[in-house]
């Protein structure tokens, strides 16, 4: 029997099969199961080894029962039972992420202009005080943080989340590449 989350994820194809675990499935159902397992992996319910094992089983599944067993021990998705308190925290976190991404783009633009101005001042225009552009760049970066209301704690949180996203994305891409190579053989 599937848990509620498993039913929610697997329900799209198992409910249409009249609950017959021996009914054959096709590529569409296997692909849906792989997508759902990816969600569990992203939510932290599966580690890399479990994800690898279950996606391998989903890729060669032949019946609805083969798919059902992959979701039988997984809990409901936490985001389906969000309370208003969590909703506010999620909105605040989204705001921090948005501001962090804006700040990242602004800093990139500022320091690109600073570097161009530095090299132009130093090598082309022969300006005697070419190093002043670094002070201006620092002031512009500080001003951007002030205008976007990004403090040190927000910036640190954004950097941690960004690094975590990057490492999770890298792990998912490695697994997907491995899975693709296995399916192509």
- Residue-wise pLDDT for 83-102, tens only, equals 445 567 788 888 888 888 89
Computed on alpha carbons and rounded to an integer, the radius of gyration of the chain in Å comes to: 25
Q: What is the pLDDT of residue 18?
A: 59
Is pTM beyond 0.75? Reply is no
Q: What is the pLDDT of residue 122?
A: 85
- Enumerate residues 6+ apart whose C-beta is below 8 A from 130: 118, 121, 122
DSSP code for 46: S
Q: What is the pLDDT of residue 129?
A: 85
Compute the distance between CA of residue 171 and CA of residue 178 in angstroms, rounded to an integer. 11
At 125, list the tokens.
Answer: 């225009």
- Residue-wise pLDDT for 91-143, tens only, equals 888 888 888 889 999 999 999 999 999 999 888 888 888 889 999 999 999 99
Could you tell me the residue ranges of all domains in the chain?
4-79, 83-184
At 60, list the tokens.
Answer: 């060669």
pLDDT range class, residue 185, cuts 50, 70, 90: confident
Under 8 Å between Cβ of 42 and 110? no
Compute the distance between CA of residue 69 and CA of residue 21 in angstroms, rounded to an integer. 10
Q: What is the pLDDT of residue 87?
A: 66
At 30, list the tokens.
Answer: 């296997």
């Amino acid at each position: 029997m599937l848990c509620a989350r498993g039913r929610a994820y697997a329900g799209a194809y198992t409910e249409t099969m009249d609950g017959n675990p021996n009914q054959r499935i096709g590529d569409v159902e296997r692909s849906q199961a792989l997508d759902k397992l990816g969600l569990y992996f992203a939510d932290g319910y599966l580690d890399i080894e479990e994800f690898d094992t279950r996606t391998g089983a989903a890729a060669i599944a032949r019946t609805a029962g083969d798919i059902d067993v992959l979701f039988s021990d997984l809990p409901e998705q936490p985001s389906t039972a969000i309370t208003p308190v969590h909703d506010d925290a999620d909105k605040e976190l989204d705001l921090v992420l948005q501001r962090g991404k804006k700040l990242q783009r602004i800093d990139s633009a500022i320091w690109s202009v600073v570097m161009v101005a530095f090299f132009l001042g130093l090598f082309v225009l022969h300006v005697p005080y070419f190093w002043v552009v670094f002070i201006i760049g620092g002031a512009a970066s500080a001003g951007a943080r002030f205008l976007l209301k990004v403090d040190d704690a927000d910036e640190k949180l954004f950097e941690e989340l960004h690094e975590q996203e990057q490492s999770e994305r890298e792990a998912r891409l490695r697994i997907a590449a491995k899975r693709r190579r296995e399916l192509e053989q």
